[in-house]
């Protein structure tokens, strides 16, 4: 059961409440520090997409501002799970790990546990947690994250489980402190929610309807990020192509990109996710003429069968998708395309899978995220009958995966010998003498270097193709 939304406030009132709550929270954490004899620790574990990752940076920002020491150990004094509910196995992972946290809390009764994110918006989840995981201290959803400081205060002040999950979104208040994972790149929320209602997807039900941030606020945030040393931004939304729709006097997405490009200090612009039905000729023109927009586009197709696409409510056909890809490649011949594909959707047959495989062979994606369909309760597809057996679905998935991998290897090969600019993102996980950089087309390259290079741009010759990445040489 979702909570009733709290009293509505103006933006100014929300910001004042955030500031007051943070001040009170700092005092509360100082008291806890005296009780523990050390600085309280907090661990935020993120499940799901880039938008969840950005939300977790806000959670960490508030926690650091309040006086917590941030760590990655779930033995921390406060553990927060920022959940995802796109697939059922994501929910099951959370339930499984909650059992582990419950055992830890028995040993350390002062431990606090909080749950937030998309899973908390799903019907029936709160009831199950109340019944089976009564040791959880705080639950909130996707629509009231900006009240996190107040919710933390309530968690400390109230003896019972605090549940504050709103059925729909209201204000957009983006002034929480942020603790970014990277100093040199950052995600930027430009919109929230989704209006597309693909029949397999729970997102519109847990994230709500589309709401666009004011472009002036977005641009101001990016200017502040650039001033702090950020050189790469990723504009985030469930469907960025529909940014500004229904907002009188507001920019559309292609116009927003033009304005972002004008900001000094920003060298790379990325965005996701793009719905094919809303990708305009104007956006293609802006991408093709830009010196900052990365030559990588994630364009989910989901299926190569027009019949299945209609059942999915994707609002385009196979032919329309291929025609769009043709226009993209004509404007940007070297564009790297990636996609999402579902196998085993209700009603899908082996013939439909063959159509998907043939589409992959025609488009020649640089990579694809492939999934076996997982029914989500509360979506129309969950009630649709499935035609293929699990064994047949797995065979189809395996054939598709091989095709995707073969195409990706072929596409990656074309870069061998080129000199490209790589943004150094960190040390190589397997070789301490090497760093890992990312090209504008999203390809990874590993080359000799040290930690002093992290965050810088280096010209690298792509010397040795390793299938899905390169070993390079700085030039």
The whole-number pLDDT of residue 298 equals 97
Mean pLDDT along residues 378-387: 93
pLDDT digits (tens, 9 = 90+) for 5-62: 556 778 788 888 888 999 999 999 999 999 999 999 999 999 888 888 989 999 999 9
Task: Give the least confident one: 81-85, 223-227, 338-342.
Answer: 81-85
- The per-residue pLDDT for 62 is 95
Q: What's the chain's average pLDDT?
A: 93
Q: Does the pLDDT of residue 87 top 80, yes or no?
A: no
Pick the more confident residue, 279 or 4.
Answer: 279
Q: Are strands 112-117 and 138-140 parallel, antiparallel or unpaired?
A: parallel
Quick one: average pLDDT of 409-431?
95
Burial label, 239 (beta-carbon count in 10 A; 0-12, 13-18, 19+):
buried
Name the packing angle between helices 253-261 and 215-227 (round to 10°): 30
Which pLDDT score is estimated for 220? Answer: 95
Distance CA 180, CA 190 (A): 17
> How confident is the model at residue 3, as a pLDDT?
53
Q: Average the pLDDT over each of 141-145, 332-336, 360-364, 426-430 and give the range with the smallest value.
A: 141-145
Cis amide leading into 464 (omega within 30): no
**Residue 24 burial (CB count, 10 A):** 17
Quote the pLDDT of residue 472. 97
Helices within 199-342 (DSSP H only): 203-207, 215-227, 253-261, 281-289, 306-312, 318-331
Model confidence at 1: pLDDT above 70: no
- Give residue 176's pLDDT: 81
Judged by DSSP in three states, 222 sits in helix
Contact in structure between 80 and 94 (CB atoms under 8 Å): no
The pLDDT tens digits of the residues spanning 153-193 come to 999 999 899 999 988 776 677 778 888 889 999 999 999 88
* pLDDT, position 343: 97
Among residues 106, 107, 103, 102, the alpha carbon closest in space to that of 115 is found at 102
pLDDT in tens, 197-216: 999 998 888 888 899 999 99
């Amino acid at each position: 059961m979702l909570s009733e939304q709290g009293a509505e406030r103006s933006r100014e009132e929300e910001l004042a409440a955030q500031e007051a709550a943070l001040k009170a929270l700092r005092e509360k954490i100082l008291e806890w520090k005296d009780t523990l004899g050390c600085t309280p620790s907090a661990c935020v574990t993120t499940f799901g997409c880039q938008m969840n990752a950005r939300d977790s940076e806000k959670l960490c920002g508030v926690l650091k501002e309040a006086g917590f020491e941030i760590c990655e150990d779930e033995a921390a004094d406060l553990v927060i799970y920022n959940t995802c509910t796109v697939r059922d196995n994501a929910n099951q992972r959370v339930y499984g790990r909650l059992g582990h946290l419950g055992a830890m809390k028995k040993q350390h009764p002062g431990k606090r546990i909080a749950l937030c994110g998309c899973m908390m918006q799903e019907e029936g989840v709160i009831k199950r947690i109340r019944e089976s995981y009564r040791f959880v201290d705080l639950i909130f959803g996707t629509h009231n994250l900006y009240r996190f400081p107040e919710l933390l205060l309530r968690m400390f002040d109230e003896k019972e489980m605090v549940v504050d999950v709103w059925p729909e979104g209201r204000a957009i208040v983006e002034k929480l402190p942020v603790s970014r994972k990277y100093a040199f790149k950052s995600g930027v929320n430009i919109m929230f929610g989704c209006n597309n209602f693909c029949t397999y997807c729970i997102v519109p039900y847990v994230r709500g309807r589309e709401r666009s941030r004011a472009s002036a606020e977005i641009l101001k945030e990016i200017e502040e990020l650039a001033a702090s040393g950020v050189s790469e931004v990723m504009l985030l939304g469930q469907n960025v192509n529909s940014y500004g729709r229904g907002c009188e006097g507001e920019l559309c997405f292609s116009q927003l990109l033009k304005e972002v490009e004008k900001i000094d200090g920003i060298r790379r612009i990325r965005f996701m996710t793009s719905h094919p039905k809303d990708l305009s000729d104007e956006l293609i023109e802006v991408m093709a003429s830009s010196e900052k927009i990365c030559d990588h586009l994630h364009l989910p197709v989901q299926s190569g069968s027009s019949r299945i696409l209609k059942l999915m409510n994707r609002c385009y056909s196979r032919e329309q998708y291929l025609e769009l890809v043709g226009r993209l490649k004509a404007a940007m011949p070297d564009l790297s395309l990636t996609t999402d594909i579902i196998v085993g959707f209700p009603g899908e047959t082996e013939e439909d899978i063959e159509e998907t495989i043939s589409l992959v062979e025609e488009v020649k994606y640089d990579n694809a995220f492939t999934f076996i369909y997982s029914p989500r309760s509360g979506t129309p597809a969950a009630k649709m009958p499935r035609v293929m057996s699990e064994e047949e679905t797995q065979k189809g998935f395996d054939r598709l995966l091989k095709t995707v991998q073969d195409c990706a290897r072929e596409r990656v090969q074309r870069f061998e010998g080129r000199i490209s600019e790589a943004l150094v993102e960190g040390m190589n996980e397997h070789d301490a003498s090497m760093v890992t950089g990312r090209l504008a087309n999203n390809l990874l390259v590993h080359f000799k270097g040290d930690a002093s290079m992290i965050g810088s741009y280096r010209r690298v010759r792509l010397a040795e193709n390793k299938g899905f990445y390169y070993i390079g040489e700085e030039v």
